């Protein structure tokens, strides 16, 4: 479907409501919201419904409706969709359950459902409905807490009950539209996303999803969202436990579907939330400020305790409080009492509390820093027991300073319940993010931090079929294949085990001897490797020991100046196709779980950013006076592995390089062990 085909469905001028009690509830909600278009109830057994005369059938309607809410049995639903499609209805919402979600004959019923609808777009089945607050449309059979609005955020969601909960929020989120998807027999999250991108009234988009049907199309839409600067935040639930199959490669056991979605969201500058409060707070942030370019915060409060609290909480999330420059500090100091220590976070004490002009001056001076966002921490007291006029005064001063400086700013209530809804609404209307809860605020800032610097046009491509008859290649064969694609491998030779000592030839000691077999993976776990062999006698003894595993051995020069060990892996996912995993490598790779995922095709800037995101990065970057690792060679190695995967996409099943030994800067990165599984 295209977004244009959803205009009548989502913004109808005429609505047919078909069914009994549920259908009547929809009419009630439409009236309560103030819908001004025509509503036509269809029920052959009733004369009136919610004060309106009922039509006996779809064929009796005065004209084709823009949208029909269909709340009849599943069998009757199929008949009704066919009738609506025949008269040219603009779309429908199907409330009935008992389709693909129940198994049995549900799949056949779904096929009939799709055939009946034809080219008519349908949400559902098993769908709660749509709230379009811009046009006062409540195709919705239940209570909700939303109100008409001119501009705001849009949410697409798979759960009807969660959609109701979202409408009940009291956090100041300007909710403009919410769509529940149901079973997605026809319309899915991508269709809704495209419609949201085309609606200029929508300021930010929230996706609460379990998964996506067409990743290549989603990638295209996400690139378009970046181009028109309409930010997206995703809350992905239903994250699966990583497959516990007896995999040959480390990559297959360490990467799950959720890691791949995370990589997709990072590529396209999509904020990722991990809780419902974080989802809503991130939506507010993106709606007001758009995506943040970095992670630099400025903070003010009149309490040293709050300053310490936010400093600790921000550090745990990788957010920074840059020091004030001399000139900036002097400007702030000039607005405060001499006893105030001017730092960031700033505890401005209470000397200026209740003095609007002085508050505005301090706030404006602090906002003029090199921050991605500046926040004031303030918790309102209970209105039923306290006066709030001085708190209102601080809010007015903050808004005035924001208008003067045009900075990106926020208010943070340490406790969510200490931000009254009217205050949050006022702040949103004045371009200030009202954060309900300090942890929620910092989670939102972390989710949005750096996204403004993401400009990837790197589209995800649809995966091809998996290879058939894929076979393990032994380490030597795997390394030769990788060397052909620009990777550095140690000097070595494959030999019969009983001739290993003679095969050493001009290899430089120390050397490594490994059992060589396509059936032998994770050699260190099996004792099938000997390191640091310094002469032919050592090699001969090692080769004898290797005969317990294979009649062949691999003798290689040992890399002795490694700075760090990494893993590079390739695996295949049914939705994402081939992907790259990188991380801290070595024999304890699964213990440390320091990995990240990169989708294909991959660019070098994307690869470098992924390397820098790892916990092992400080070690690569010269931790505590150690030599820096050769970052350029690491990036080139990963890029070459990615190119190898793309060149062999039709036959490659898995690939593991573990470890990639990273040498000091300028000396390269060496593939010390490798395993490739591929077809002919």
The reported pLDDT for the residue numbered 2 is: 54
At 77-116, the pLDDT tens digits run 999 999 999 999 999 999 998 888 777 888 899 999 999 9
Whole-angstrom Cα distance, residue 191 to residue 262? 21
Fold of 3-209: Rossmann fold (3.40.50)
Average pLDDT, stretch 320-327? 95
What does CATH list as the number for 491-557? 3.30.1490.20
At 113-137, the pLDDT tens digits run 999 999 999 999 999 999 999 999 9
At 13-57, the pLDDT tens digits run 999 999 999 999 999 999 999 999 999 999 999 999 999 999 999
The reported pLDDT for the residue numbered 1 is: 55
CB-side neighbour CA atoms (13 Å) of 147:
6
Q: Of 89, 123, 121, nearest to 16 (Cα)?
A: 89
Query: Token match 């994307």: residue?
Result: 606
The reported pLDDT for the residue numbered 245 is: 41
At 460-514, the pLDDT tens digits run 888 888 888 889 999 999 999 999 999 999 999 999 999 999 989 999 999 999 9
At 229-261, the pLDDT tens digits run 999 999 998 765 443 343 445 445 445 688 899
Fold of 293-453: Rossmann fold (3.40.50)
**pLDDT band at residue 606, thresholds of 50, 70 and 90?**
very high
Res. 680: pLDDT tops 80: no
CB-side neighbour CA atoms (13 Å) of 655:
30
CA angle 366, 318, 229 (to 5 degrees): 70
Domain boundaries, the chain: 3-209, 293-453, 491-557, 564-678
The reported pLDDT for the residue numbered 544 is: 95
The reported pLDDT for the residue numbered 255 is: 55
Res. 424: pLDDT tops 50: yes
| DSSP output for 322-353 | PPPPHHHHHHHHTTS-TT----SSEE--STTT
Q: How far is CA 397 from the centre of its chain?
A: 36
Question: pTM for this structure?
Answer: 0.90
The reported pLDDT for the residue numbered 248 is: 45
- DSSP structure class, residue 372: S
Determine how β-strand 92-94 pairs with β-strand 122-123: parallel
CA terminus-to-terminus distance, the chain: 40
The reported pLDDT for the residue numbered 193 is: 98
- DSSP structure class, residue 380: P
At 283-304, the pLDDT tens digits run 999 999 999 999 999 999 998 8
**pLDDT band at residue 456, thresholds of 50, 70 and 90?**
confident
At 611-661, the pLDDT tens digits run 999 999 999 999 989 999 999 999 999 999 999 999 999 999 999 999 999
Superfamily of domain 564-678: ATP-grasp fold, B domain (3.30.470.20)
The reported pLDDT for the residue numbered 107 is: 87
User: Percentage of residues in the chain with pLDDT exceeding 70?
Assistant: 97
Q: Which residue did the predictor score with more confidence, 351 or 376?
A: 376
Whether 3-209 and 293-453 share one fold: the answer is yes
The reported pLDDT for the residue numbered 566 is: 97
Res. 191: pLDDT tops 70: yes
**pLDDT band at residue 4, thresholds of 50, 70 and 90?**
low
Structure tokens at 664: 């000091």
The reported pLDDT for the residue numbered 246 is: 38
In angstroms, the Cα distances linking 413 to 146, 275, 285, 353 are 23, 18, 14, 17
User: Percentage of residues in the chain with pLDDT exceeding 90?
Assistant: 85
Res. 3: pLDDT tops 60: no
The reported pLDDT for the residue numbered 458 is: 81
At 359-368, the pLDDT tens digits run 999 999 999 9
The reported pLDDT for the residue numbered 149 is: 97
């Amino acid at each position: 479907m295209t977004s244009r085909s959803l205009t009548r469905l989502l913004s109808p001028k005429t609505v047919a409501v078909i069914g009994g009690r549920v259908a009547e509830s929809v009419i009630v909600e439409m009236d309560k919201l103030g819908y001004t278009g025509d509503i036509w109830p269809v029920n052959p057994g009733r004369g009136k419904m919610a004060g309106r005369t009922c039509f006996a059938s779809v064929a009796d309607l005065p004209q084709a409706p823009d949208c029909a809410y269909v709340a009849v049995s599943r069998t009757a639903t199929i008949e009704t969709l066919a009738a609506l499609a025949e008269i040219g209805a603009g779309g429908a919402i199907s409330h009935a359950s008992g389709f693909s979600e129940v198994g049995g004959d549900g799949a056949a019923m779904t096929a009939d459902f799709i055939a009946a609808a034809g080219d008519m777009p349908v949400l559902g089945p098993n769908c709660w409905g749509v709230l379009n607050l811009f046009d006062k449309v409540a195709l919705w059979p239940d209570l909700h807490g939303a109100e008409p609005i001119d501009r705001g955020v849009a949410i697409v969601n798979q759960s009807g009950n969660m959609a109701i909960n979202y409408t009940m929020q009291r956090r100041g989120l300007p909710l403009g539209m919410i769509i529940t998807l149901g079973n997605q027999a026809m319309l899915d999250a991508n269709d809704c996303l495209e419609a949201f991108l085309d609606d200029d009234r929508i300021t930010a988009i929230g996706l609460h999803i379990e998964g996506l049907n067409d990743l290549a199309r989603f990638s295209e839409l996400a690139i378009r969202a970046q181009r028109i600067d309409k930010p997206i935040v995703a809350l992905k639930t239903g994250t699966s436990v990583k497959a516990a199959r007896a995999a040959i490669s480390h990559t297959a056991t360490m990467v799950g579907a959720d890691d791949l979605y995370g990589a997709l969201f990072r590529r396209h500058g999509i904020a990722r939330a991990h809780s419902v409060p974080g989802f809503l707070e991130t939506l507010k942030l993106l709606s007001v400020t758009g995506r943040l370019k970095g992670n630099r915060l400025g903070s003010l409060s009149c309490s040293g305790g709050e300053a310490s609290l936010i400093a600790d909480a921000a550090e745990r999330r990788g957010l920074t409080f840059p020091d004030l420059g001399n000139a900036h500090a002097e400007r702030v100091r000039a607005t405060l009492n001499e006893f105030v220590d001017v730092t960031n976070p700033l505890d401005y004490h209470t000397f200026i509390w209740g003095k609007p002009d002085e508050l505005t001056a301090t706030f404006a001076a602090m906002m003029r820093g090199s921050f991605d966002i500046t926040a004031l921490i303030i918790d309102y007291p209970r209105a039923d027991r306290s006066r709030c006029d001085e708190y209102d005064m601080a809010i007015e001063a903050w808004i005035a300073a924001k208008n003067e400086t045009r900075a990106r700013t926020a208010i943070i209530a340490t406790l969510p319940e200490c931000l009254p809804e009217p205050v949050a609404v006022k702040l949103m209307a004045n371009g200030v993010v009202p954060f309900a809860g300090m942890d929620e605020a910092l989670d939102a800032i972390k989710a949005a931090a750096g996204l403004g610097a993401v400009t990837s046009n790197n589209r995800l491509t649809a995966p091809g079929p998996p290879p058939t008859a894929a076979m393990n290649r032994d380490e030597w064969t795997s390394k030769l294949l990788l060397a052909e694609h620009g990777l550095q491998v140690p000097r070595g030779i494959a030999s019969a085990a009983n001739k290993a000592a003679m095969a050493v030839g001009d290899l430089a000691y120390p050397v490594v001897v490994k059992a060589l077999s396509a059936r032998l993976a994770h050699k260190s776990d099996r004792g099938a490797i000997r390191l640091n062999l310094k002469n032919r006698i050592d090699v001969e003894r090692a080769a004898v020991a290797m005969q317990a595993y294979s009649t062949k051995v691999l003798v290689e020069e040992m890399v002795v100046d490694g700075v760090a060990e990494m893993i590079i892996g390739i695996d295949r996912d049914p939705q994402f196709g081939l992907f790259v995993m990188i991380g801290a490598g070595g024999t304890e790779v699964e213990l440390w779980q320091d990995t990240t995922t990169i989708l294909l095709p991959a660019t070098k800037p994307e690869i470098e950013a992924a390397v820098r995101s790892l916990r092992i990065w400080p070690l690569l970057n010269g931790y505590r006076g150690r030599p820096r690792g050769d970052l350029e060679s690491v990036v080139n190695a990963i890029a070459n592995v990615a190119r190898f995967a793309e060149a062999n996409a039709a036959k490659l099943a898995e690939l593991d390089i573990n470890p990639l030994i990273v040498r000091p800067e300028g000396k390269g990165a060496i593939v010390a062990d490798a395993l490739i599984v591929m077809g002919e």
